[in-house]
Structure 1
Amino acid sequence: MRKTLGAIAILMAGTSLAQAEGVLQLYNWGNYTSPELLAKFEKETGIKVTVTDYDANDTALAKIRAGGHGYDLVVPSANYVPIFRDGGLIVELDRSRLKNFGNIAPEWMDVAWDPGRKFSVPWQWGSTGMAVNTKVYGGDINTSAIFLDVPEELKGKINVVPEMSDIVNFAIWYVGGEACTEDTEVLKKARDVLLAAKPDWLSMDYGATERLANNDWAASVNWNGSSMRARILNPDVAYGYPKEGYPLFMDSVTLLADAKNVDEAYQFIDFIMVPENAAMISAFARYANGIAGSDEFMPEDMKTAPEVVTPEEFKAAGNFLPTCSPKSQEYLTAIWTELMK
């Protein structure tokens, strides 16, 4: 009997090891990872990628900090990369294992949030703005008033994405402050504007692409790529760039310090820096990427899309959010906590 149980234990251990080989756990934003890319990667490498979605940077950060998650790669936005790095949650990349590292476009190499790209490689980048159904509302959409001083036509019909940094800083810009401010007077004004506006919102949810396309929502604070996807399905959807200020973002792939499938992770990181593969990521989610040479593989409709090509008059209002100081982050979190009640 002992011999039989021992044989079974060995067999089970062997099966477990076999299951652990050739797999990769990717923790990424929802509806953001190209199925075609994953199929191509699996075909070329034999590695099966499992994608787990999240809806906000803070959601991902809390999950990783808690440990025991089982993920290998995570895709934080620019202002969160230093938080992951300084918290010891991600590790410096071994460039000797990344033959395609040189494909990162020069303008995305020495970035403020990761100088020299020691810890991250580009996934996609874009902006957060206002997506509005122009059949419902025909006024100015290039303003944060769309959700902070909601027009009558949009009351009870607008969604606000649950991304703290974007939403609170939108309000800070709207009242004349600077992103990640520690000015308590400005922060109080931003808080008051948000709390006063919330009763006019329908929801605070992530899935804007489908709900804008289906006319479930008449407007949403939303990301540009998602807004383009909604417009393709519903031509009445237009994307606005708030003149008071709006966030730019770049989401980047990072290797978690407690990753189990490290070899597979490096193969995936290297794979997404091939120009044709980077274009495949963009073609699905409709955001620009940071890989040189990918333009020739990009969908034609992205090359002139108003959601991707920012109108000249609104370029100056777009800014990458800095990583907030601990004091500023505490204030923003307090505002967000009150808003979410």
Structure 2
Amino acid sequence: MRILVAAAASSVVLLPFAAQAEGVLNIFNWGEYTNPDLIKKFEETYDVKVTITDYDSNDTALAKVRQGGTDFDIVVPSSTFMQIWIDEGLLLETRPDQMENFKNVDPRWVDVAFDPDRHYSVPWQWGTTGVLVDTSVYSGDPNTSAIFLDPPEELVGKINVYPEMGDVIDLAVHYFGGESCTADMEVLRKVRDKLVEAKPKWVAMDYASIEKYVQGDYAAGISWSGASLRVRLEADRFVHGYPKEGYPIWMDNVAVLKDAPNAENAKLFQNFIMDPENAAMISAYARYANGIVGSAPYMPADMQDAPEINVPAEFLDMGSFTPACPPEVTELYTKIWTDVLK
């Protein structure tokens, strides 16, 4: 991957545009994912009033925007959904690669498969999907998807699983030695049978709150890395496990809608969050890595060496960036997921 440094002419155009910004900006983002202090700083710096509307899943966001008439300017799709948004013509090609602050993007997040050379989106936050385990309940190895697929007796009836088809099936596919987006029917039959068998051993399929874990309602579950960090900071008996069979790496990205009523302010926001200090504010709130070089010095001290954010060396090679699956594979996964939800 290569850094595409913005041309000097682009910076000249951007700076006076930024100084003259005013009006409003409507952001459509995941719930509890946007730092109010970041928004306040943006509003005060550019005299732009920001409104935020929450959603709980990629599917929810996509369905809402497809309906039209939302007046949203910005959306934050995950990497596995970006290609859908682009292919359906829902996003404006804002050319972040030509913006002033693009030089700060970590090289690994520049020429990404879901948005080559970043013509549409900029990094928001990235993380891993693993498992969260209460070590006071279970003291065995947490680094396996067996935690929710073949749970030890201590955890049966105390497991929460995110209602996220992609994450759950991807973990299960790796558990059986498959690759992300596999169409291998032998592997997928094993995945389907195991998930249906395991579900009665779970207590919930929910976007679990920190309190559910801290209070002991849940002793284990599928968890995103930043969520695991927030739980551990409240109760240090919890540990984030990196499944040795394989686990997903993902990134959420800030993009501008094709029919955004405030497209210029949305572009300004894209550039704004590529500033290292501002990117650190994003991470400080939701507790995920941000993909911007130079943000580390501004990050909270408790994130500097956090194992949930800084993947330990022994687990690095076990993770893989989840691609957007072809429609025919998504159809197979949807059939499996329908059986799981019955």
TM-score, with length taken from structure 1: 0.90
1:171 aligned onto 2:169: no
Q: 1:95 to 1:76 in 2, by over 3 A?
A: closer
Q: 1:95 to 1:136 in 2, by over 3 A?
A: closer
**Whole-Å separation in 2 of the counterparts to 1:96 and 1:213:** 42
Q: 1:202 to 1:80 in 2, by over 3 A?
A: same
Retained in 2: the 8 A contact 1:55–1:162? no
1:122 aligned onto 2:123: yes
Q: CA deviation at 1:303?
A: 1.6
Residue in 1 aligned with 2:206? 205
Q: 1:54 is matched by which residue type in structure 2? A: Y
Residue in 1 aligned with 2:187? 186
Note the residue ranges of structure 2 that are not aligned, 5 or more in a row: 1-21
Output one character per residue of 1:183-236: Cα deviation in whole Å (capped at 9) or x when no partner: 122111101111111111111111343322332211120100111011111111
Output one character per residue of 1:151-190: Cα deviation in whole Å (capped at 9) or x when no partner: 2111111111121111111111111211111112211110
Q: 2:122 is matched by which residue type in structure 1? A: V
Retained in 2: the 8 A contact 1:275–1:292? yes
**Whole-Å separation in 2 of the counterparts to 1:142 and 1:286:** 21
SS of 1:263's partner is helix
Retained in 2: the 8 A contact 1:279–1:298? yes
**Whole-Å separation in 2 of the counterparts to 1:171 and 1:300:** 34
**Whole-Å separation in 1 of the counterparts to 2:36 and 2:208:** 18
Q: 2:146 is matched by which residue type in structure 1? A: A
1:257 aligned onto 2:239: no
Q: CA deviation at 1:295?
A: 1.4
1:288 aligned onto 2:275: no
Residue in 1 aligned with 2:36? 35
Q: 1:88 to 1:236 in 2, by over 3 A?
A: same
SS of 2:93's partner is coil
Retained in 2: the 8 A contact 1:124–1:251? yes
**Whole-Å separation in 2 of the counterparts to 1:239 and 1:208:** 15
Q: 1:256 is matched by which residue type in structure 2? A: L
**Whole-Å separation in 1 of the counterparts to 2:173 and 2:299:** 35
Residue in 2 aligned with 1:81? 82
Residue in 2 aligned with 1:133? 134
Retained in 2: the 8 A contact 1:57–1:163? no
Output one character per residue of 1:60-81: Cα deviation in whole Å (capped at 9) or x when no partner: 2222222223321111111211
Q: CA deviation at 1:96?
A: 8.9
TM-score, with length taken from structure 2: 0.90
Q: CA deviation at 1:97?
A: 7.8
Q: 1:154 is matched by which residue type in structure 2? A: L
**Whole-Å separation in 2 of the counterparts to 1:333 and 1:70:** 30
Residue in 1 aligned with 2:14? none
Residue in 2 aligned with 1:153? 154
Retained in 2: the 8 A contact 1:56–1:162? no
Q: Percent identity?
A: 55
Retained in 1: the 8 A contact 2:95–2:120? no
SS of 2:132's partner is strand
SS of 1:53's partner is strand
Q: 1:338 to 1:272 in 2, by over 3 A?
A: same
Q: Over aligned residues, Cα RMSD in angstroms?
A: 1.5
Q: CA deviation at 1:95?
A: 4.5
Retained in 1: the 8 A contact 2:145–2:171? yes
Residue in 1 aligned with 2:45? 44
Residue in 2 aligned with 1:247? 248
Q: 1:88 is matched by which residue type in structure 2? A: G
Alignment of 1:298-309 (within 5 A): 298-309=299-310
Residue in 1 aligned with 2:92? 91
Q: 1:246 is matched by which residue type in structure 2? A: Y
Equivalent pairs, count: 321
Q: 1:71 to 1:122 in 2, by over 3 A?
A: same
Deviates more, 1:330-339 or 1:205-214: 205-214
